[in-house]
Each structure stands twice: as C-alpha cells, then as structure tokens.
C-alpha cells in the first residue's frame, strides 16, 4: 500500500507538543566518565578497545531519576527526553541485541525504564533520543562515515562490514524501545548526514514499524536531516520518514518556521546550558538563567519549543550550575507559566522593548527592557483591550491617559506607575485580555 501523509493525524499528535513548549534534554552515558563531552571518542580518536572498559566502571550510585524529574517539573518543563543510545553505541536500556548496555555495567540498571517511570510519576511527557549513528557496532561504517572515531585510520577498514546487518540492529532496537517501555511521547532520532539519510536508514520501513507500535508518538526530522536542514515537511511533500518537528540546534531561528506554502511548521530549538551536551567537567561557560528565560520566550513568540539540555555526571548528578539555573528558571516560570504553556505567536508586530505571546484572548506582553514612561502596546488596537493585569500577582495595570503620548491616539499604552524599575528585570509580563471581535465592534 502506498504511503500518504495524514495531515489530521499529524496535527492531532503534535497538539500537546506545541502546547508544552518547554522540555528537558538529558545527555548521559559512559562519556560522563572521561567528562569531556559526548563526542570524546571522535574528538580524541579513542579506539573501542580503550573505551569499552568504561562499561565495567559505570556505576552512577547517586542517580535518582525521581530527583531528575522533580527538577524538570519545578523548572516548569512539561516533557523530558533521555539519550537511550548516543553515537558511542552504549545503551541505557536492557536491549537483547547487545551486551554494551547499562544492565551489563557495574550499575546493572535499566536507566531508561527508571527514567520513564519517574517522569510519568511526576506528570511529565516522555521522550527517548536514539542515535542512528553507532560507533560501537562492528557493521557500522568506520571509513564510510566521516563522524566515526576510526575514520581515516587504515587499521579499521570497512571490509566485511554489512550495513544491512547494522540496519537490522537499528530497527530491532527501535522496536525494543517502542515495545517494552510503554507509551512513548517523543522519539528523537539523531542524525542524518551526507549519504546517510532517509532511505539509507530504511526510513519508510522504520517509521511504519514505529507508527504500528506507537501511533501517537511525535518524531523529529533527523531521519532526513540534522540541526541544519528542515526536511521534507518544509517542502509541502512530506516523505514517510518526514518527522513531525524541525530541530534547530544551539540557535533560535530569526523568525517562525514555515513550509513552502507559508504554513507554520512545528519546531523545537535544542540548547545546551554550557557548550556540551554530555557532561564536560571543564566547561564552566554556562548561559545565565535570565538569558535562557528570554530565549524560551523568543521560541514561543515564534511558534516553537525549547528543549534545554543537562549533562549529568558519572555519579548520576546534575552539575550544580545546571541545578541552580533550573531553580532560577523555575522561579520565573512559577509566576509566568501562563505566558508560555499553550501559547504561540501573536498576530501583531514585535514590540521594540520585548515580545508578545498569545493564547486565545490572552495576549502576554513580555517587557524585556525599560520603556521611558507608559509602555506602548504596539499594534494592539486600543478598543480591543478589555483589561490589563501584571501576570505574577494579577494586579490591575491601567491604560495610560498621560499627555506625553497624546500624539499617538491610536496606540494603547500601559501605565506601570511611578517606579521606573521593572517589577521583574528578567521579563516583566503583562496579561492583556482582548475583547472578542464582536465586543470590539460594539
């Protein structure tokens, strides 16, 4: 039977994802022991023989997935995605297809199961990241993939490697994840490049299997592309392995993402807190929490999600800096979550002092820098405003009647009072309730 794109099913299964807006990305595995990031095997050309023994050492006794889920929840996150297998091939789940897995490590634990149980208990939607690339599997191309740690090393030729046998392994593991761990909300594949895209992964067959086992799971676009490239959803001609959302990486797109006909696309920007996905002990270059709050607001104002990453250490703990950032984001979200969750772009031009997000008749004005005097509600017709409140405490914010803006009668201005300092230096949010069209026309 030939495949056809089911737009209604696509919109139905991505609805929760678009409303969720904010998730936690978790990169964790053996690479936490070298503590130089998840690409350490590639960056330092470490042969398998030198890397595999880490399996016998891996025993993150401090790993408490309930604590992980609680930190995500308290930060206002609505979903969490864990690396079930990264490029190094190490599996955090009890796969019957390999011995290179956490249940064979000193820990002897199925961390994927612990993660999913803890997240579901905390009320978080759950996702699993699965690397298409596998530097451990003997049938994965060593010379035929420029990302392989042994690429360029003549001692590791590709003679005898059977890529179809690797694909059986890849499909078999995805089948295990889709069969043995309950309902998954997100499958986060990573990543396609060069000739290794779509059909090369037997993408149509893979997605048929995924859809048969997890019909509502939301998938990303990396069976086709990576953090660069949008994939076939943007062309208006989705392939059977199109993916449901676009995945800009370490970057917020200059504007919302649309397909060739101008229809908005579902997208999620994945962002690290420092400069590494996996734990990197020397990388102290963390983004300040206020910056990350403002990037979250920017993503939502452009119709996207933000997936913010933490790389737990080899003991199973979040780095202290990551914990502090999550707590600070959580303090802002606790008071302003209504301006993020379920929101999207507003049909008005961006105000020069901040951003707009909207959900139904609630328009949220994110004031990111002081205005001198009353705040111009750029583009919002004065007669469409029913009331304005300061979101965190619900206090009334009157429309300004000041003479200073008398020359702009068609513009509405909010009066924040005599204090020139904004209530929240990170992002002061006003909730504007708009009149329905009929009320506005009275």
Provide the binding-site residues for ligand GLC, judged by CB under 6 A.
27, 38-39, 190-191, 226-227, 249, 270, 277
- On the 0-12 / 13-18 / 19+ scale of CB atoms within 10 A, 168 is middle
Q: Are 352 and 370 within 8 A, CB to CB?
A: no
SS3 content of the chain, % helix, strand, coil (to 5): 30, 20, 50
The phi, psi pair for 132, rounded to 5°, reads -70, -30
Q: Give how far Cα 396 sits from Cα of 335, 364, 430, Å.
A: 16, 14, 10
Comparing CB distances to ligand GLC, the nearer of 305 and 336 is: 305
Q: Are 30 and 54 within 8 A, CB to CB?
A: yes
Task: Identify each DSSP E strand in 88-204 by its residue range.
Answer: 125-131, 186-190
Comparing CB distances to ligand GLC, the nearer of 205 and 249 is: 249
Comparing CB distances to ligand GLC, the nearer of 21 and 41 is: 41
Q: Tell me how far apart the alpha carbons of residues 394 and 387 are, in angstroms, rounded to a whole number.
A: 11
Comparing CB distances to ligand GLC, the nearer of 180 and 226 is: 226
**Strand-by-strand arrangement of the 186-190 sheet:** 218-219, 186-190, 125-131, 79-85, 22-26, 304-310, 267-272
CB of residue 279 vs ligand GLC: minimum separation in angstroms? 12
CB of residue 102 vs ligand GLC: minimum separation in angstroms? 18
Residues 6+ apart with CB under 8 A from 349: 378, 379
CB of residue 131 vs ligand GLC: minimum separation in angstroms? 7
Comparing CB distances to ligand GLC, the nearer of 81 and 122 is: 81
DSSP 174-229: HHHHHHHS---SEEEEE--BTTBSGGGGTHHHHHHHHHHH-TT-EEBSTTT--SS-
Comparing CB distances to ligand GLC, the nearer of 100 and 277 is: 277
CB of residue 81 vs ligand GLC: minimum separation in angstroms? 10
CB of residue 212 vs ligand GLC: minimum separation in angstroms? 27
CB of residue 61 vs ligand GLC: minimum separation in angstroms? 25
CB of residue 242 vs ligand GLC: minimum separation in angstroms? 18
CB of residue 239 vs ligand GLC: minimum separation in angstroms? 20
Comparing CB distances to ligand GLC, the nearer of 84 and 119 is: 84
Comparing CB distances to ligand GLC, the nearer of 172 and 227 is: 227
DSSP class of residue 36 equals: B
């Amino acid at each position: 039977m030939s495949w056809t794109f089911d737009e209604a099913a696509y919109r139905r299964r991505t609805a929760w994802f678009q409303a969720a807006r904010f998730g936690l990305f978790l990169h964790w595995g053996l690479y936490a022991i070298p503590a130089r990031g998840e690409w350490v095997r590639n960056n330092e050309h470490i042969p398998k023989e030198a890397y595999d023994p880490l399996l016998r050492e891996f025993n993150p006794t401090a790993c408490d997935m309930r604590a992980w889920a609680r930190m995500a929840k308290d930060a206002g996150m609505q979903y969490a995605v864990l690396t079930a297998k990264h490029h190094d091939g190490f599996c955090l789940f009890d796969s019957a297809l390999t011995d290179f897995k956490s249940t064979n490590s000193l820990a002897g634990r199925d961390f994927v199961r612990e993660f999913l149980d803890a997240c579901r208990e905390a009320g978080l939607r759950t996702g699993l990241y699965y690397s298409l690339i596998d530097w451990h599997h003997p049938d994965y191309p060593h010379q035929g993939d420029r990302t392989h740690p042994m690429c360029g090393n003549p001692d590791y030729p590709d003679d005898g490697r059977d890529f179809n046998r690797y694909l059986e392994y890849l499909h078999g593991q995805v089948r295990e994840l889709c069969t043995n761990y309950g309902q998954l909300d997100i499958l986060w594949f990573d990543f396609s490049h060069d000739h290794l895209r779509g059909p090369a992964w037997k993408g149509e067959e893979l997605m048929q299997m995924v859809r048969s086992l997890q019909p509502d799971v939301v998938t990303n676009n990396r069976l086709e592309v990576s953090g660069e490239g949008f994939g076939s959803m943007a062309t208006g001609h989705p392939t059977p392995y199109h993916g449901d959302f676009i995945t800009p990486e370490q970057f917020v797109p200059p504007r919302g993402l649309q397909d060739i006909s101008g229809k908005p696309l579902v997208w999620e920007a994945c962002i690290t807190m420092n400069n590494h996905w996996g734990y990197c002990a020397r990388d102290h270059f963390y983004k300040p929490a206020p910056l990350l709050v403002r990037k979250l607001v920017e993503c939502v104002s452009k119709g996207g999600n933000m997936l913010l990453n933490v790389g737990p250490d080899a003991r199973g703990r979040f780095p202290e800096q990551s914990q502090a950032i999550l707590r600070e984001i959580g303090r802002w979200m606790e008071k302003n979550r209504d301006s993020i969750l379920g929101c999207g772009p507003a049909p008005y031009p961006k105000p020069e002092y901040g951003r707009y997000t909207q959900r139904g008749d609630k328009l949220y004005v994110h004031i990111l820098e002081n205005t001198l005097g009353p705040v111009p509600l750029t583009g919002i017709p004065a007669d469409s405003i029913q009331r304005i409140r300061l979101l965190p405490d619900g206090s009334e914010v009157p429309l300004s009647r000041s003479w200073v803006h008398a020359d702009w009668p068609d513009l509405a201005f909010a009066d924040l009072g005599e204090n020139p300092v904004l209530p929240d230096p990170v992002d002061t949010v006003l909730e504007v309730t708009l009149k329905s069209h009929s009320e506005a026309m009275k």
